[in-house]
A and B are shown apart, each in its own frame.
Chain A
Amino acid sequence: MRRVAVIGVGVTKFGLHDRTSAELFADAAGDALTDAGIPASAVQALYYGNVVGGETEHQLHTGPQAASVLGIPSVPTTRFETACASSHAAFRHAVMEIGAGVSDVILVGGAERVLNVSTAESTEYFAYASDAVWEQPLGLTFPGVFALIARAHMEKYGTTEAQMAAVAVKNHRHGALNPKAQFQKQITIDQVLRSAYVADPLKLLDCCPFSDGGAAVVLASEEVARRHRKPVWVLASAAASDWMLLGDKRDLARVPATERAAAAAYRQAGLGPTDVDVVELHDCFTIAEIVASEGLGLFEPGAGGRAAETGLTSLGGEMPVNPSGGLKAKGHPIGATGAAQIAEIVTQLRGEAGPRQVDGARTGLTHTLGGNTATVLVSLFGRD
């Protein structure tokens, strides 16, 4: 495989927008191309993530739709849908296409628009990522999936609601330093613990928000990337899947797909968890960050809650997690999330993250999880 680098990134502010998902993507992609310093004519393919376009915008065929709105209609375009991990899956396939020598420059990104429909509607659409025969008819929701995981983690390891709240407080503290974040306001443990239950034991402030937004990154072969000011190298990009049905998962307190994708990524890069300086991981719910931090090997199984509570995962801590504010505070436009996490790690490794910079970060990791934990992507990044 040839070496592949990220040479440009762009992210819209996340939150409420009066723009279509294609427009949000195009905005981010325009910024990513400017950041890369290459003309749009250099782009040889678009790999695009979008999830509920059919439901919220009555728009399928969102790949070429996004390319047309951007103004590059003639490149081959493919839409990826792996629930919340869609644009990270798109990224992995672009890395392989450049690595294989098929293309030299690929635009990867994603976008989502959901705030144009009611919370009841978006709750229903997000539940579509669970099984339509065996789980949706029971009234299972996306928070419900992670509530079942949270309960299992509490039973097995003694994880507490206060430890989960510590994740939310930490990510809001980080988000307050990110001008692109949906929430730039700090919250307290007490506020989280007093917020209303959505799916016990998860409360409103344990949950990431519904968000609109777009994100894009420009990938290039080594030859092209060498002409760029600060290429960030893709050291690994791995995917893993797991059973769809919660009843088929042997241990709800763990996410095997995270463990398998992480093992494959570390193997590809010849690195281990202790080599990682900064992490953007999938905190769609506070418990998701705890379980992911364990599955990635950053902490022992069962130690993730305590790690958050004692500040290990805070900016300035031993293992900073989600300096962007994470999905919790930055927001979670599901089709854009994977690309946005990659954009944050690239920004961190370039040393351009301003007040949320992890000092001296040389190696970064992104982790994106799809829906009910049946899809996980893990990528590793390094700088010269």
Chain B
Amino acid sequence: MTESLITARAFFERARAGQLTAVRCGSCGELAIPPKELCPACHARAWQPVPLVGEGTIASFTVIRVAPRAHAADAPYAIAVVKLQEGVSILGRIVDIPLDKVAVGLPVRFRPLGAQDQTSIGFGPLG
């Protein structure tokens, strides 16, 4: 059991401290982010936490110009699916990269974003 890790709350606590964390299946080795209760590959319930390097490349992106009400002040902003070095992917907000420089294949690094007292996943330039 990895009770402290299986929750989104635990994930975001680590993320707030700058650490992007995945879980690895103790039975078959599958890596997952965010955590799930059962391993999607073998359905075992034997996760171990795995700290990730937090680096990856943009697999796909968009620039949101018509935003939901809560994000209207941020628009336009970029959101990307980032393929992490370890092979898993996660959605995040792109920050500190000019919108016209955001591209598929661009290397990015994880950074926690704080908005509305809530940590969310961001990615900024690698350098």
Q: Which A residues form the contact surface with B (CB < 8 A)?
A: 119-121, 123-124, 127, 133-141, 143-144, 147-149, 151-152, 155, 196-202, 245-248, 252
List 17 A-B residue pairs with CB atoms under 8 Å apart, sorted by A's residue number: A123-B69, A124-B69, A124-B70, A134-B90, A135-B91, A139-B64, A139-B77, A148-B60, A148-B81, A149-B60, A151-B60, A151-B61, A245-B90, A246-B91, A247-B89, A247-B91, A252-B60
Contacts of B39-80 to chain A: CB distance below 8 A: 59-72, 74-75, 77, 79-80
Q: Within the assembled complex, what's the spacing in Å between the Cα atoms of A10 and B46?
A: 52
Residue of A123, A136, A139 with most partner-chain B CB within 10 A: A139
Which residue of chain B has its CB nearest to the CB of A201?
B62
B104 touches A247 (CB 8 A): no
Question: When the two chains form their complex, are residues A138 and B65 in contact, meaning their CB atoms are under 8 A apart?
Answer: no
Whether the pair B62, A199 counts as a contact (CB closer than 8 A) is: yes
Q: State the CA gap A123–B79 with chains docked (Å).
A: 16
A200 pairs with B62, CB closer than 8 A: yes
Mostly, the A contact residues are helix
A152 contacts across to B, CB distance below 8 A: 59-60
Nearest Cβ distance between residue B43 and chain A, in whole angstroms? 15
In the assembled complex, the Cα of A177 lies from the Cα of B29 at a distance in Å of 56
Contact of B118 with A by CB under 8 A: yes
Interfacial residues of chain B within 62-110, with CB under 8 A of chain A in the complex: 62-72, 74-75, 77, 79-82, 88-93, 104
B66 x A133 contact (CB < 8 A): no
Q: Do most interface residues of chain B lie in helix, strand or loop, or is the interface mixed?
A: strand
Q: What residues of chain A lie closer than 8 Å to B69, measured between beta carbons?
A: 120-121, 123-124
Residues of chain B within 8 A of A137, CB atoms compared: 115-116, 118, 120
- Do the beta carbons of B64 and A140 come within 8 Å of each other? yes
Alpha-carbon distance A135/B80, docked complex (angstroms): 11
Q: What class of interface size applies to chain B in its complex with A?
A: 35 or more
- Give every chain A residue within 8 A of B80 (Cβ-Cβ): 148
Is B124 in the interface zone, CB < 8 Å from A?
no
Q: How far is the CA of A124 from the CA of B82 in the complex (A)?
A: 24
Interface residues of B (CB under 8 A from A): 8, 33-34, 59-72, 74-75, 77, 79-82, 88-93, 104, 115-116, 118, 120-121
On whether A199 and B61 interact (CB within 8 A), knowing A124-B69, A137-B118, A139-B93, the answer reads no
State the Cβ distance, A233 to closest chain B Cβ, in Å.
37
Which A residues are in CB contact (< 8 Å) with B116? 137
Q: Which residue of A lies closest to B61 (CB)?
A: A151
Q: How far is the CB of B119 from chain A (nearest CB, A)?
A: 9
A247 touches B79 (CB 8 A): no
Chain B residues with Cβ below 8 Å from A200 are 62-63, 65
A135: B residues at CB distance < 8 A: 91
- A155 and B106 alpha carbons, distance in the complex (Å): 13
Known: A148-B81, A247-B33, A247-B81. A139 touches B67 (CB 8 A): yes
Chain B: minimal CB distance from A301 (Å): 16
* Residue of B with least CB distance to A119: B66
Of B34, B64, B74, B118, chain A has the most CB atoms within 10 Å of the CB of B64
Residues B64 and A141 in contact, CB atoms below 8 Å apart:
yes
Do A139 and B71 touch across chains, with their CB atoms under 8 A apart? Answer: yes
Q: Is the CB of B104 within 8 A of A140?
A: no
Give the nearest-CB partner of A203 in chain B.
B65
Nearest residue, chain B, Cβ from A128: B68
**Smallest CB separation, A98 vs chain B (Å):** 34
Q: Name the A residues within 8 Å of B115 (CB-CB).
A: 137
CB pair A148–B63 under 8 Å, yes or no, is no
B89 shortest CB reach to chain A, Å: 4
Assess whether A246 is in contact with B81, with CB atoms less than 8 Å apart.
yes
Q: A120-B72, A141-B66 are in contact. Are A134 and B60 (CB under 8 A)?
A: no
Closest to B72 in A: A120
Q: Find out whether the CB atom of A139 lies under 8 angstroms from the CB atom of B91.
A: no
